[in-house]
A and B are shown apart, each in its own frame.
Chain A
Amino acid sequence: METVKRNKYRSPEASAFYMAGLTLLGIVVITFIISLFWTPYSPDATDASAKLLAPCLEHPFGTDNFGRDVLSRVMAASKYTIYISAAGVAIALILGTVAGIPAGYFGGYIDKGIMLLGNSIMCFPGILLALVAVAVFGASVGNVIWALGLVFAPTFARVCRVGTMEIKELDYITHARVMGVKPYRIMAMHIFPNLVPQLLPATVIGLANMTLFESGMSYLGLGVQPPDASFGKMLSDSQAYIRVAPWLVIFPALMLVFYILGLYFISEGLRVNLAKGGKR
């Protein structure tokens, strides 16, 4: 029981993961930032005379079936990909915690009710849910985000619930109750911070899943509206050209892989660190 500085701990394995993750994610984020100020061509400008050009000097990533510059589109797409996944996860996270922590803390009927709702959403085809949202509020990025948030909230709720159930049994929570701290404060200040270790990896994985789900929605015509694009949408649009114009598939796919792989490495790093450090 001698003094051990666990939170200062940083395993070499973890830092390796961080390095890899940040590099990959960095590529995507930097393209995103640049795209805000400058893209080689306007990503939406069609040019019937320059259709399906293979990568060349003036079009490093080639052009698509509208004669649009793929590089510019990839840059622009990074915006939507990041935006949608981030915002969607944020919503899911908020909904999940707000529902999950009380469920775990109070238990009983509150728990039953919340989990029941969660389960029903989970076994409800996400596509249908998305379609409803889009049909009701019209197809727009915002609605896609809400749909995604809703579809993914239950998973976060589960994590929070289970974590809370464990934590609330610990002495420091009991102590807080004895000291007369209000329940909402216990949940917010005492329990939530200790859920973060479990939530972080879940969040990162959530981000990755979001991008995949979003691309799936684009494949079905929901999701991002043309001429805007996300990586997923670019992929689904270009799949027909996979034989004649592979570059239409390769570059967005590459970016998508970078993005998700980067996120995964970072989450891996977090997990390793927490596993090594957070253990009792």
Chain B
Amino acid sequence: MKRSFIKSAVIASVIAIAAASFAGCTNKAGAANNNAVVGITQEPAIFDPHTVVAAGDREIIFNVYEGLYKYDSKGNLNPCLATDVAISDDASVYTFTIREGVKFHDGSDLDAADVVYSLKRAAGLLDNQDGTALVQELDSIKDVTAVDGGKVAVTLESGNTELLSYFTTGIIPEGYDNCQAAPVGTGPFKFESYNPGQSVVVVKNDNYWQKGLPYLDKVTFKVCADMDAGLTELAAGSIDIFPYLTTDRANQLDKAKYNILSNGSNMVQIFALNNSVEPLNNIKVRQAINYAVSRKDVISVTMDGAGVELTTAMSPAMGSYYDTSLDGTFNQDVEKAKALLAEAGYENGFDITCTVPSSYLIHVNTAVELASELKAVGINMEIKQVDWATWLEKVYTNRQYETTVIALTSDYAPYDVLERYQSTASGNFINYKNDKVDELMGKIPSIADTKEKTELYHQVLKLLTDDACSVYLQDPTTITAVSTRLEGYNVYPMYVQDMSQVKVVGN
């Protein structure tokens, strides 16, 4: 009697456990269909093409909005909603020819008026705006007018040959102001839904102006808590594409089920030294630190070797703008580092703190490796993890830090990369100051000749390296795992997920 009672109870509990262990044999995600799931680690927030800044948002709406020009996976700037552009000699007037027969997602046709509205909105020139540009770089626009023949003329305050890359900013229908809630663009995919903390869904734009594109019916950008969560999801097969993996993570994946793509990310991982605090305001100390660091080991530890060593502020991915002559300037040389420290009067080293954002594993790991290497020259670095928000305020905005590790992203444009090193730039969080650099950066925009421009960029880079303004570590390779059921996925040298070329080749 009693036994039976207890037995039944036990059985009940056993069943519970059994049920638990057989959980989830329910449905496999990313099933046999014409859809794809992309894993993203940053919670999307802003879908307005003009106020969007965070890279994590851009990579999604890249599929929804299009600009007059558009980058391809090689980093080339190609005409998109504009068929071509005419730039005046002093580079103060850009005249675009608007492409015919493009339809917005809401069905309306693209015309000059839409472009004017969009550019004005971006430049903050609309009547209801206070004149501050939403897209900072377009602040120099004086006026935007529709010229006959479906042309649009953009007049600048001063000549600037560098601006074309910023006309990639999204074009929206005239008078439309609800981009955040319901994005409307001309891109290959229509915005379907946003489920906070879970996913963003976009669906095929059937009347996309490029015939035949896109191939997929539906793309889901799925939010993963972090890289490891994403990894487990990949392993579980509930994600098709997952970018920004580290190699050691990628190696854990089943080669038969996933292709591992890697590519320079045009990011610059920097061991930032606050140039305005003791003892880092001493150039010898900064050089010493540069010599103390072994970039190879950093890359090996953090990216498992998948990264390009840097000695200056620009990634080799920038092609000719990158100055190859600077390579190997700071090969690890502990003795030299010690000597420099001695010269600077720190023969027995010093203590220093490194404030890193805890949400970025790669930067934290880098800091750990650096700490261990700096110990060798007597520098005693203490690591302080802070959460992203705190990092942004304390380190980036208020510049209350000694050193930090972070990756600098930028558009695929040399000016955008170097712009922050002007002493007045808001992005100059390392407090770097060199009048020569300021002068050069001031001069560049007005110069039309590419060769001359490249030369000036090289000079800037040289100065940055000579001043050892910080320790440039690596251009971490973007490693993306793509399910073998998909093909046509291209890795861009910038923070972008282009799904328009992707097609399903079987399940």
Contacts and interface: CB of A to CB of B under 8 A. Distances in A.
Q: Does A touch B (CB under 8 Å) in the complex?
A: yes
Interface of A: 44-46, 48, 51-52, 65-67, 131, 135, 138-140, 220-222, 225-227, 239-241, 243-244
26 contacts: A44-B372, A45-B372, A46-B297, A46-B301, A48-B296, A48-B297, A48-B300, A51-B300, A65-B365, A66-B365, A66-B372, A67-B301, A131-B387, A135-B386, A135-B387, A139-B385, A221-B364, A221-B387, A222-B358, A222-B385, A225-B382, A225-B384, A226-B364, A226-B385, A239-B228, A240-B248
B383 A225 contact: yes
B231 interface: yes
Given A46-B369, A244-B248, A51 B383 contact: no
B384 A138 contact: yes
B359 interface: yes
Contact of B252 (A51, A225, A239, A244): A244
A66 B248 contact: no
Contact of B359 (A66, A135, A221): A221
B158 interface: no
Given A46-B297, A46-B301, A227-B371, 4 more contacts: A48-B300, A220-B358, A226-B364, A240-B249
A241 B251 CA distance: 11
A239 B300 CA distance: 20
A226 B301 contact: no
A227 B249 contact: no
Say what secondary structure dominates the interface of chain B: helix
B369 A244 contact: no
A227 B364 CA distance: 10
A216 B52 CA distance: 34
B228 to A, nearest CB: 5
B198 interface: no
Contacts of A226: 364, 367-368, 383, 385
Number of contact residues on B: which range applies?
20 to 34
Contacts of B386: 135, 139
B371 A44 contact: yes
B178 interface: no
B500 to A, nearest CB: 32
Interface in B319-360: 358-359
Contacts of B249: 240
Interface in B102-150: none
Q: Which 9 A-B pairs have the closest CB atoms?
A: A221-B358, A48-B297, A46-B372, A48-B300, A240-B228, A226-B368, A227-B368, A221-B385, A243-B252
Contacts of A44: 368, 371-372, 375
Nearest to B381: A227
B428 to A, nearest CB: 25
B434 interface: no
Contact of A241 (B227, B248, B367): B248
A65 B248 contact: yes
Contacts of B294: 48
A131 B359 CA distance: 14
Nearest to B387: A221
B258 to A, nearest CB: 15
B390 interface: yes
B252 A139 contact: no
Contacts of B301: 46, 48, 51, 65-67
Given A240-B249, A241-B248, A66 B368 contact: yes
A222 B252 CA distance: 27
Contacts of A131: 387
A244 B228 CA distance: 13
Nearest to A46: B372
Contacts of A52: 248
Contacts of A135: 386-387, 390
Interface string B225-239: 001100100000000
B474 to A, nearest CB: 13
